[in-house]
Structure 1
């Protein structure tokens, strides 16, 4: 018995397949009791039986009993699971508990069966362990004892398999909706054939009003909306499969001939089903979605091409027929193709951790000390080149991606600055760009403060730069409320590109800010220095009266530096002082500065 236990436990520890492990357990018992046939079945959440191991049972019998419901007349195993206790049937031909499967058992030459339920430590029934006999009899005492001793081995093997299955399920399924996720979708389409044009297709679906619902009613309502949308799509597209591949994105793999042959009418019907009002957290909301579709064509060499085509069609639907459907065709347009490519590129960079902050110092012109840093978001492309995130031009239609980019940047910047703050001569603050879409995210302040708390960084060290696209939304009540809440928490606010067409003096009347950054056009306007000097001097005077710091941007020459100093500008940044440099390089530079500063202090004390 000890050798049997050692063999099975070693198989479990190695991670051998459940079927081979339990098959070995059955074979070991059959070798010990030559007149018996051993089997192990499991029961699923629906109460259906599945044979896991039965090395000596006829395959025809095993297939006939597969999936039958556990119950009082479903044989010894079905009855043992149903009642939660051992069941001994000495004569299958006469016992009513074999009513459902008796003919199959008798054809297989089985005369009797004893079954014992397999239960875990909580008492939940996992399945049943059975001994079949070719003659009408019950189990011997020795047979009962060894089966009872082997039950724990079966439980360990089944529980391990359940944990593995749960991990696999979590890895391939979305927790909120229960749908298969991006990983499962990618695995499936990678195996779809491209040599059979028209045999399958994709629908790319975007929930258009998820963000407004989140912003207006809260994320609980948004989650409710997603679950309703997921269920409606799942019902409408059956037997085809739906996947949730992103926050508000779903993919449907079409293989049903009717859906492929009549795609336009099928999708219109799907949109009608989606558009019915739904109750979400006490609010009545009408789901809205845009859909792009593509079917595998003769010139599609790989499945990813079909996905890209569906994405292109979706993007076109969102731009030209929001709330409607666009089917891909080769002339859909290269600008859309390029736009979708860029969006997918930055999504991939986020997923693969290829987004990183680079830092540019902000100098105090009076002392020559750099007092702050601006964190600039950079994307490391697959080829290894560095690209500014601003080059992707994320707009309102990509607000979710833009906020994830901001959130990721804030977490990395807070971590970097926290590690530098204790160095001698470290800068006072770090500035991070945010957009108006970021400011409309509910709970932004709380999330920022949590990031700072997690990194043990005081709020006064963080400055949020409101870039030029944000200026258009500065009169929105929600945006102003977010700014006031952020400042009340100790986080400072800077208006970027001040003096441009979008950022004007009127903002100083309405928007509570701590800093303004002069638009580069003012710093570089040397052709009409008199006007630029008058404007900058006026801004410096007004800002001084309002207690607002002024920072000149894009200072590239010593002449610009000297000119700004003569006007009384105290702070500046630009290539004249330093280009933006990677986080590791900035950390090393700060360390060298700290060591040098400490050396000077020690020299003076000596």
Structure 2
């Protein structure tokens, strides 16, 4: 084969062919003659065959065209156009009896079901026709179409169908109408008469299936025509003729022509067959012999030429032709580059292959685009028809899974707050996955969907197993076989995230550009569907709400014509309020209800114009019963039932006008009262602006009322402290009263007058409430200038030594405590110096007290010269001085400072012209090494001072090793810490009895230490150490919680017993104590009134301000407050009046001495009288005899406590005692 190809490609071989053609001219001439003779005969036969077949084709065209016109008439008939299928049956049936060439008429719905047919009756079960070729072509092709051969499912007869789509005004198909032709009508009777028994006419459809044939024709009806090449030729041209060899070996002359209708002209092919021998009947046998010889010679030449042509060109041309035909049939997978030879043919084949590949890609893209457009149209149709959102989204997901292969689609809808996924729609996803992602919060690492919604961007994850966005959900996805995810956020038209559209894959993959376009289109369709659904729901709800707003509005409302003012609608409240029936209302206009204004000369037309000139105007209306009411009307234009109207909202203000008059009179009285009081008063609104002032306020501040009202009072008169520093508005007590439920009292601030001077005031700010809500505050104040001067003098006396002018012990303690409290990290260092004068007593005894006083003053002056202003110098005793000095403020070492101080003390003093000389001893305690509280520091400094005095060294630092007591305290502290950790403490309870009815009013909780070595220890053995350590706070809370828990247990056993616990001075400095007590009460659900806190006078005076604050908060909870050991301390009655005290406990030292000392009885009587005058109850503790008990009863003491009543007992013992206790007073009697 390669040799033959090389041979015929050479120029020599081609020249040989030319020489051969020149050498045999005779053969060529003879062949030409025979050829011409044959051609003439064939032309005659072919022309006759063409004429015959064309005549048959014209008949078929006429038949099909008339059938088309008949079908068009049926399609435009009223019965078919109106869709009256019940009347259609008899109509088509009658038409079939008239039109004999048809087997059936019918109409098929879009679902493929028969709507009407002329061959059956209504109600008969009809077959499905949706798979018929004519039905499918009619839906997509305009005009009329012709089907293929088919066996009728209704008639059972073989037919060919003409059909067309019935379309609505928009061109969309709504049904298909068809007419089934009898196959026998395809051949005219004249066509059936053949010139010879061997000739015949055959009609086939476009697939080559025989529809009808004459007696001499080929094939059977319903079978494919046997000659494929003839069919191909017939399909390629409108008409033609060819000579073919039949299966029996005979030569036949076959002519063909196409027939059809407009739009489908080649639906049928008419074939005419006749024997070739008929063309040669008139030629003699001799001629035939010559022709045969010439023909043989010609065939030899042709064979040689044919063989050469086939080898050189024919095969390549056939390959190209077949490829072209396959491309025509849209078989774009055709490839022939390797099947042809020759450079030119190879180049053509290569270009043809490239074109086929490109057409294949375009064909696939076009098909996908068409499917995509159809799917998009279907989704838009669902959205436009307001189908359910879930059904629409499911259809959208199924569409997306069709468009992108091997995908699982889902849509997540975000919650209304935009924080988490509310629901997941994914028909092909497992329920476990959908449930798991529902409720997931949006975030930057919440998988593809959560991240896409959170960051509002497309998130492509090609491999879930390695992507960090899926770190928290990777196991979930992989367990469901998901390995890739592309997520698009679903955004509303306003830019708000509605959800996400996600495509999951069961293998890792990256997206193609067209796939991303499809996904983006689907996310946009989902956004339209979700937003449209929400808008429809909102519109429905809004319409219902507006209708109910009118019908159920509690205020009268009506709608009237904007021109005639005739009432068009009224609500039930208007009917009830005015007394008219609805029918009566609808016959009236608003002028019949509204009365003219008093002293008004307005015309009715003017009144009508004014009716809508101002909104919310006050009018006079009359009811049906004749009564007149004042109403406030508001008008709103609207379109009602197609005409301009007005909606009127009516508010009855009759009572308001009466109340307004009453309020006006009351305001006048209020103004009179305000201006008559001596206190200055002004009001504040919630913004802190002045609402009113009285005359006294104007006088004290120097402003007119017009200058104050509407102004921010804080900015105007309270914006600076007395020292000129800014006063932040958030710290202003007046403003704080606006947000509190109780009043605020301040007695140490200033207000600023108009002339710029400060006015010291005491003021109260009370919140004003309306309907339980604070709407402002009222502030009352008065000038306390004189009181402040007196107070400052008293404060100076309380904090200073009047002889030397130095501060006293109380001031020094307060200063040191402030430093310690501010030093949270125990990193600050300071010294406490205790100076005791040596020889002062001798001076005082010999020269007199005046000389001693003068000496003390001179010593104070010398000390002040040695220290700067940061040091605190105090006189703490007769000849004792204490000095507080910061380490950071010391320029010299402390030893040098102390030495200089001793030098100054030793210098001579001149007292009344007498020169004397003394010395001193100094003890030094350092914070925090020698103590972390004032008591330890002072005691240790005093101890060091006495040690220095004993040693005669002038000064000495505190040394713990020389203080045996300090060592025992350290050991005790260690044991106490262990006791707290091991819970070695227990509580005993001592009852308190009311002397009025002998009932048990409560018990006092007394702490005991159950020491493993020393046994049961009382508070006097360890509490002094606890109170100076940090153990006091946890131990106090343990006591409170244990007592409250025991109280809860008693309550469960039927005993409502209050319990009192003791707190120390350091506890009163702990501002967190109230909250801790409240939490304990809530934990055990114990009423706060069953708990009582006992404090000592001295604990209050340690820091009165803070103690008052802490006790007030505790008392506000509902806990009772009691002052223990009253009479032994030195608290002022002023503080006693300010503190929230419920009871006083008389110290047992007074109570015990009542039996033999009248002074003690007088003191007890005074305390009881004082307490009762202050509305405070009294408890006497330490009652140990019947005599004391009787005396306390005579003095009207409220309650008693002591060993005569009962000794302290455990919790369970108290319960038994409550059951068996005797009646004390009666027993004593």
Q: TM-score, normalised by structure 1?
A: 0.44
Which of 1 and 2 has higher RCO (CA within 8 Å, sep 6+)?
1
Q: TM-score, normalised by structure 2?
A: 0.22
